[in-house]
Structures are given as C-alpha cells and as structure tokens.
C-alpha cells in the first residue's frame, strides 16, 4: 500500500532521515515509534506530499509521489486523511463547517449530502451531532476536539489515515477511547493507517505492526509480540522508558 525506499531528508545541516525503508501493509495499522525529534512526523509528511525527499522513493497506492506536481498532490490529499497533532481545526468555523470543509474543497456534494455525511462522521466518532454541530472548537474539550478532527479526517472516505500523536495531551480514559476508535475505523472503513506516538500503551492497543526509528533509520519492524520480546537494546530501552543505556539522546526540537 505504502512503500518507502531509501528516504533521505535533511534540514540545513541536520540529517533527519538517513535512508528509511518501510513497508506499510494495506488495511492494517502501522505504528512508527521513536524518540522525540527523531523524524517521525517528517516521515508521514512525505506520505501526503507536504515534504519532498532529498532522495528516495515514496509509493502510495501504486504511484511514486516523491516528485509529484500540484495536481497529483491534490489527488493524494483526497485519498489520505491526516489527523494533525493539534487537531488543526479552524477556530473561526463551527463544527459543521470544519467537517464540511474538505467536502466543499474536493467534491460537488449538495448541501443535503454534506449535512448527512457530517452527521454520519460525527456519529462514527461517538459525538452527538445535535449537541456539537453549532459549537466552535474553543467550546469543546481537548478530547472532543480530537474526535472532531478525526471526523474531519474521515469525511472524504480516505483509503489511508495518518495519525500524528492522536492521544497526546489526553487523559488515559479518553486516550483509550481514541485507540478504540482507530481500531474501529480501520475495520469499518477498511483503511490503511499509520500512527506515530510516544504512548507505548495506546500504540500496542491500536497497532498491528510496529517500526522503530532510531538515528534516521528504521532499526526494527514486527508485530506486537515480536516487539515485546525483542532483545534489540534500543527497542528494549525505548519500551522500558529508561534514559540510560545504548540510546544516545538526540537534540530536542
């Protein structure tokens, strides 16, 4: 579904990605684990064409997109839903308009069709449309904003969903709810998902496959069982949350 080959990216003198090879299988959730500032967001921004690689290839659904033009990028954006870390809702628009936004941008749906799609997507993320449609983002809790962000991400029926830290800043119960939603959406919409997270516990609930990013490369891949039992010292240290040992800490942003 998504194939990343030899992806390299540097910002100024800083080599962030030093040759990423990663296969992201269709219909599953792949989690990219790694230290803060290690380049996880940089990887997923390449999948949606927000960044162009210095070298390497990015295949999305059979198309190589690393040198895509604007028209191709527009097509990719329709296929790929991106849930930004911040939720990235428009503060000046109410919840209805926020979720309707991608539908107005990318489709010719009528107002009635837009309303019924917005209602359906809010229900999918466990929100009562009648209670939230007319509210503004700053009237919602952080967890509700994440859910509205998710409803907007799935508005266009994406084939791929990229989740950037979907549980950051949420309490454990709301985090669990978001993880359950990631699993449900994978099943209901048959999407391929990529999740980046620091939250090991939630990652194991939501993920099918795992890839560990360290020093600009993917150093280990496998399913949860493999990750929990691996003796790779970098993975072990990361999962155990120990700050001493083989990992040399990278500079934070």
Ligand X SMILES: Nc1ncnc2c1ncn2[C@@H]1O[C@H](COP(=O)(O)OP(=O)(O)OP(=O)(O)O)[C@@H](O)[C@H]1O
Chain contacts with ligand X (rule: CB under 6 A) = 11, 16, 34, 36-42, 253
Q: Residue 197 CB, nearest distance to ligand X (Å)?
A: 8
Q: Residue 189 CB, nearest distance to ligand X (Å)?
A: 25
Q: Residue 56 CB, nearest distance to ligand X (Å)?
A: 15
Give how far the C-alpha of residue 33 lies from the chain's centroid of Cα atoms, to the nearest Å. Answer: 12
> What angle, rounded to 10 degrees, do the helices at 95-106 and 70-79 form?
130
Contacts of 104 (CB under 8 A, 6+ apart): 114
> What angle, rounded to 10 degrees, do the helices at 142-153 and 111-124 form?
130
User: 42 vs 193, which CB is nearer to ligand X?
Assistant: 42
User: 11 vs 90, which CB is nearer to ligand X?
Assistant: 11
Q: Residue 235 CB, nearest distance to ligand X (Å)?
A: 16
Q: Residue 92 CB, nearest distance to ligand X (Å)?
A: 26
User: 39 vs 137, which CB is nearer to ligand X?
Assistant: 39
**Entry field: residues in the chain:** 253
Tokens of 232: 């790779």
Strands (E), 133-215: 160-164, 192-196, 209-214
User: 72 vs 168, which CB is nearer to ligand X?
Assistant: 168
Q: Residue 34 CB, nearest distance to ligand X (Å)?
A: 6
Q: Residue 78 CB, nearest distance to ligand X (Å)?
A: 24
- Give the C-alpha separation, 223 to 188, whole Å: 22
User: 37 vs 126, which CB is nearer to ligand X?
Assistant: 37
- Give the C-alpha separation, 208 to 214, whole Å: 20
Tokens of 212: 């560990």
User: 63 vs 142, which CB is nearer to ligand X?
Assistant: 142
Q: How many CB atoms lie within 10 A of CB 71?
A: 7
User: 38 vs 137, which CB is nearer to ligand X?
Assistant: 38
Residue 2, beta-bridge partner list: 24, 60
Question: Which helix (H) or strand (E) covers residue 142, if one does?
Answer: helix 142-153
Q: In what order do the strands lie in the sheet with 2-11?
A: 14-24, 2-11, 55-60, 63-64
């Amino acid at each position: 579904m998504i194939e990343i080959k030899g992806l390299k990216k540097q910002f100024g003198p800083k080599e962030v990605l030093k040759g990423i090879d990663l296969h992201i299988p269709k219909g599953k959730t792949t989690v990219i684990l790694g230290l803060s500032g290690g380049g996880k967001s940089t990887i997923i921004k390449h999948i949606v064409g927000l960044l162009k690689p210095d070298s390497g290839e990015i295949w999305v659904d059979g198309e190589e997109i690393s040198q895509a033009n604007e028209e191709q990028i527009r097509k990719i954006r329709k296929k790929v839903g991106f849930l930004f870390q911040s939720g990235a809702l428009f503060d000046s628009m109410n919840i209805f308009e926020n979720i309707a936004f991608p539908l107005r941008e990318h489709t010719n749906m009528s107002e009635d069709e837009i309303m019924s799609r917005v209602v359906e997507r809010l229900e999918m993320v466990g929100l009562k449309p009648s209670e939230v449609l007319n509210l503004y983002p700053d009237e919602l809790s952080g967890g509700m904003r994440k859910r509205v962000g998710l409803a907007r991400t799935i508005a266009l029926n994406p084939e791929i969903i990229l989740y950037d830290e979907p549980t950051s800043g949420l309490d454990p119960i709301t985090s669990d709810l978001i993880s359950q939603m990631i699993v449900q959406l994978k099943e209901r919409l048959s999407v391929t998902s990529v999740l980046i997270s620091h939250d090991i516990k939630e990652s194991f609930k939501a993920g099918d496959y795992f890839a560990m990013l360290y020093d600009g490369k993917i150093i280990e891949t496998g399913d949860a069982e493999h990750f929990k039992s691996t003796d790779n010292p970098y993975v072990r240290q990361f999962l155990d949350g120990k700050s001493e040992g083989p990992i040399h800490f990278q500079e934070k942003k």
